[in-house]
Amino acid sequence: MWLSAAALLCLFPTGVWGKDRTVRIGYQKYGTLVVEKARGTLERRLAPMHVHVTWTEFLGGPALLEAMGADSIDFGITGDAPPIFAQAAGVPLVYVAVEPPSPHGEAVIVPADSPIRSVADLRGKRIALNKGSNVHNLLVRVLQSGGLTPADVSSVFLKPSDARPAFENGSVDAWVIWDPYLAAAETALKTRQVSDGVAAGRTIDENREFFLATRDFAGTSPDVLHAIIADLTQTEAYAAAHRDEVSQMLAPAMGMDPAAVKRALDRLSFGVQPIDDRVMAGQQNIADLFARLNLIPMRIDLKEARLGKGS
């Protein structure tokens, strides 16, 4: 369900404008926050509130949330799995908002000439992925769809920058990767998808992006959080309507071909939505699965990370 900016912003209380403050935002190589940073709209919105913005780039969600746990950033965006691992590790995060599902924005890929043709063929194979990232959940779900478990494959934990050369030189048999790295590999290499977030016509992994904040920031600076969500709502609407322009804007900063960036953007669902019961139930389902597979040390309660609880 797509909500208007006015309807969404009613969910957030406004605070009292005070002295000069700074909001520290963590972002990744791709996504709405990159567009927002490039356009400079958030700085202009926050300037009358005497709020400064600093930006820090991270290679993936796990590293971003490690920084959040170390109180190095206040706000950021990741996929579905990183906040689950982070909450299990004691990071005091809260879910602020979410983007619509983008199940085609991540995939298990193999070289075009690979003998791997189905999920079942992954048994015993070496599969590269970024540990704790959104594709960690995708791999588990894809394996399930073929009657396998993580124990049936050899997971090789590599960051995207290390995984691509390993994939190209044959050190691994498959690579589980997300956009824009997925689009870059598809446009530059001869690859084939084994599965993305949709298998046999059924969505097995929604691949949502979550806007997250520290509990302290959400509790002490609700006016700033309100302004960030307002600006993100406008940025998402702009990006959805100007995909070609956005791809040209982002490509140089990302060091990628505009065609690859556009390919990734075409698979991205734009829109800022509130965290509702259905979304949290989906996250709880992922967390419970990870606990059963001993990917996290204990079962966690996602209600503890809902905005407004304890803040």
Looking at the fold, whether 64 and 135 belong to one and the same domain comes out as no
| pLDDT, tens digit, 9 for 90 and up, residues 248-285 | 988 987 888 999 999 999 999 999 999 999 999 999 99
Closest to 182 measured CA to CA, from 26, 30, 61: 30
Nearest partner of 61 among 150, 142, 129, judged by Cα: 129
Greater model confidence, 204 or 5? 204
Would you say residue 4 has pLDDT above 60? no
Q: 309: pLDDT confidence band, cut at 50, 70 and 90?
A: low
Same domain, 97 and 216: yes
End-of-domain residue from the set 203, 224, 249: 203
| pLDDT score recorded for residue 311 | 44
Q: What percent of the chain lies above the pLDDT cut of 70?
A: 93
Once rounded to an integer, what is the mean pLDDT over residues 27-54? 94
φ/ψ of residue 251, rounded to 5: -55, -50
Q: Averaged over 182-207, what is the pLDDT?
A: 95
Return d(Cα 152, Cα 162) in angstroms, integer.
Answer: 23
Same domain, 198 and 212: no
Which residues, in sequence order, are CB contacts of 147 under 8 Å at separation 6+? 119, 120
Last residue of a domain, one of 159, 181, 203: 203
Percent of the chain past pLDDT 90, that is, above it, reads 84
**How confident is the model over 130-182, as pLDDT tens digits?**
998 899 999 999 999 999 999 999 999 999 999 999 999 999 999 999 999 99
* CB-CB contact of 216 with 94 (8 Å): no
pLDDT of residue 172: 98
**51 and 124 part of one domain:** no
Which domain range does residue 189 map to?
106-203
Same domain, 220 and 77: yes
Q: What is the pLDDT of residue 18?
A: 52
Rounded to an integer, the average pLDDT of 241-248 is 92
Nearest CA among 41, 39, 77 for reference residue 56: 77
In a domain, residue 310? The reply is no
User: Residue 254's pLDDT is what?
Assistant: 83
Indicate if 80 and 218 belong to the same structural domain.
yes
Based on the domain organization, do 280 and 199 belong to the same domain? no
Query: Is the separation of the CB atoms in 228 and 75 below 8 Å?
Result: yes
- DSSP-derived letter for residue 122 is G
In DSSP notation, 276-296 reads -HHHHHHHHHHHHHHHHTTSS
Residues 230, 288 within the same domain: yes
Q: What CA–CA distance (Å, rounded) separates 226 from 215?
A: 14
Q: Are residues 91 and 212 in the same domain?
A: yes
- CATH code of the domain containing 183: 3.40.190.10
Residue that finishes a domain, picked among 170, 203, 236: 203
Q: What is the pLDDT of residue 15?
A: 44
Average pLDDT, the chain: 92
Model confidence at 30, pLDDT cuts 50, 70, 90, reads confident
184/252 same-domain check = no
Residue type at position 240: A
Is residue 132 domain-resident? yes
Tell which residue, 63, 30, 28, has the closest CA to residue 256: 30
Please report, as a single letter, which amino acid is at residue 245: E
Split into its structural domains, the chain has a count of 2
Say how many residues make up the chain. 311
Give domain status of residue 301, yes or no. yes
User: Which residues, listed in sequence order, are joined to residue 54 by a DSSP beta bridge?
Assistant: 24
Both 221 and 197 in one domain: the answer is no
Here the contacts of 42-45 (C-beta below 8 Å, separation 24 or greater) are 42/227, 42/228, 42/231, 45/227, 45/230, 45/231
* Ranges 58-62, 98-102, 209-213: which has the least confidence: 58-62
The verdict on residue 273 lying in a domain is yes
Report pTM: 0.88
Residue 311 covered by a domain: no
Lowest mean pLDDT among 15-19, 22-26, 143-147, 292-296: 15-19
